């Protein structure tokens, strides 16, 4: 090694390239610029910073999908509104129809009530007319059957054939009275004029010809002459049950038929003897 190498003054200065020098100058300039900026920022008043946000770019496919969804939503809203309008219209129509049906039902019910009231009124009027007719007929029968002055003397001097004719007239009076009561009600214990039981009707019929019968069926079954059912005559009293303990009576009117106050369901009726044969019969005329 040269002895002069340790001496600084004897060292050769290095050459620096122009690019290195330029770099160093640039760095130094940048540092100085930064210091200048910081200094100026500190001395000057703060200014608001406006931040700019960059919007992401839209994909055309995504945009088309969003538009389609919006259109579907609008269509669904329109469909819902139309459906609601149809439901409202149907409900209004149903309410109107129900109101009309109710009014029609009320009119029909009122018409039925009026018809029923009219029917009942006509039935009452018919019943009143029938009762009046029966009353008049009964009055006529009573007047006809009343004994006339001198009748007893005439009877005592009349031939037997005339007595037979008188008996026939008495039977006709009894049967006419009975037939005038057809349609009357059956009421146990009733004695007329519009409701009867079996024995009261028989008693009232024979009272028209001045024959006073017992009130009850048991006694009526033994009040006259016992006759066979094969030898019946019009006007014979029929009874059901044993003689002396019969529980029902009626009157034979001919042609296999009899008339009686049957029961609460039938009232006073004419019936066929073959359908309900009697036990026995008595004759009082």
Nearest to 183 by CA among 271, 269, 270: 269
Number of other CB atoms surrounding residue 123 within 10 Å: 10
Select the more confidently predicted residue: 121 or 239.
239
| β-strand pairing of 257-263 with 280-283 | unpaired
Whole-number pLDDT of residue 120? 78
List, in sequence order, every residue forming a beta bridge with 99; answer none if it has no partner: none
pLDDT at 159 over 50: no
Q: What is the pLDDT of residues 66-101, one digit of tens each?
A: 788 888 888 899 888 988 999 998 999 999 899 889
Nearest to 175 by CA among 278, 282, 281, 250: 250
Whole-number pLDDT of residue 190? 96
Nearest to 193 by CA among 249, 254, 142, 147: 142
Q: What is the pLDDT of residues 115-127, one digit of tens each?
A: 888 887 777 777 6
Whole-number pLDDT of residue 217? 97
Assign 185 to helix, strand or coil.
strand
User: ω into residue 193 within 30 of 0, thus cis?
Assistant: yes
Whole-number pLDDT of residue 130? 65
Multiple choice CATH, 168-283, 3.40.50.300, 3.90.1720.10, 3.40.50.150, 3.40.50.261: 3.90.1720.10
Do 267 and 236 meet the contact criterion of CB atoms below 8 Å apart? no
Whole-number pLDDT of residue 18? 54
Tokens encoding 126: 């018919």
What average pLDDT does range 144-154 have in this prediction? 41
- Mean pLDDT estimate for the chain: 78
**CB-based contacts of 46-50 (< 8 A; 24+ apart in sequence):** none
Q: What is the pLDDT of residues 2-39, one digit of tens each?
A: 555 555 555 555 555 555 555 455 545 554 555 554 45
| β-strand pairing of 185-186 with 248-254 | unpaired
Do 141 and 174 meet the contact criterion of CB atoms below 8 Å apart? no
Nearest to 236 by CA among 195, 273, 269: 273
What average pLDDT does range 103-108 have in this prediction? 87
* Separation of alpha carbons 211 and 205, rounded Å: 9
DSSP letter (8 states) at residue 259: E
Structural element, H or E, at residue 261: strand 257-263
What average pLDDT does range 110-137 have in this prediction? 73
Whole-number pLDDT of residue 56? 61
């Amino acid at each position: 090694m040269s002895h002069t190498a340790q001496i600084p003054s004897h060292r050769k200065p290095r050459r620096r390239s122009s690019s290195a020098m330029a770099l160093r100058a640039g760095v130094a300039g940048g540092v100085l610029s930064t210091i200048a900026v910081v200094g100026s920022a500190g001395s000057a008043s703060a200014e608001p910073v406006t931040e700019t946000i960059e919007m992401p770019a839209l994909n055309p496919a995504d945009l088309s999908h969003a538009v389609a969804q919006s259109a579907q939503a609008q269509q669904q809203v329109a469909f819902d509104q139309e459906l609601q309008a149809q439901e409202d219209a149907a409900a209004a129509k149903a309410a109107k129809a129900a109101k009309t049906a109710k009014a029609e039902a009320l009119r029909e019910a009122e018409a039925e009530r009026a018809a029923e009231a009219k029917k009942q009124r006509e039935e009452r009027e018919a019943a009143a007319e029938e009762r009046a007719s029966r009353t008049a007929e009964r009055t006529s029968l009573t007047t006809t059957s009343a004994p006339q002055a001198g009748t007893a003397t005439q009877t005592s001097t009349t031939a037997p054939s005339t007595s037979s004719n008188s008996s026939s007239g008495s039977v006709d009076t009894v049967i006419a009275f009975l037939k005038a009561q057809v349609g009357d009600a059956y009421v146990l214990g009733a004695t007329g004029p519009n409701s009867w039981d079996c024995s009261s009707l028989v008693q009232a019929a024979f009272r028209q010809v001045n024959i006073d019968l017992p009130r009850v069926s048991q006694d009526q079954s033994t009040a006259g002459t016992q006759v066979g059912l094969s030898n019946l005559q019009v006007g014979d009293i029929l009874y059901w049950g044993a003689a002396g303990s019969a529980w029902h009576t009626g009157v034979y009117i001919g042609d296999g038929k009899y008339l009686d106050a049957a029961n609460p369901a039938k009232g006073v009726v004419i019936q066929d003897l073959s359908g309900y044969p009697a036990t026995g019969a008595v004759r009082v005329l």
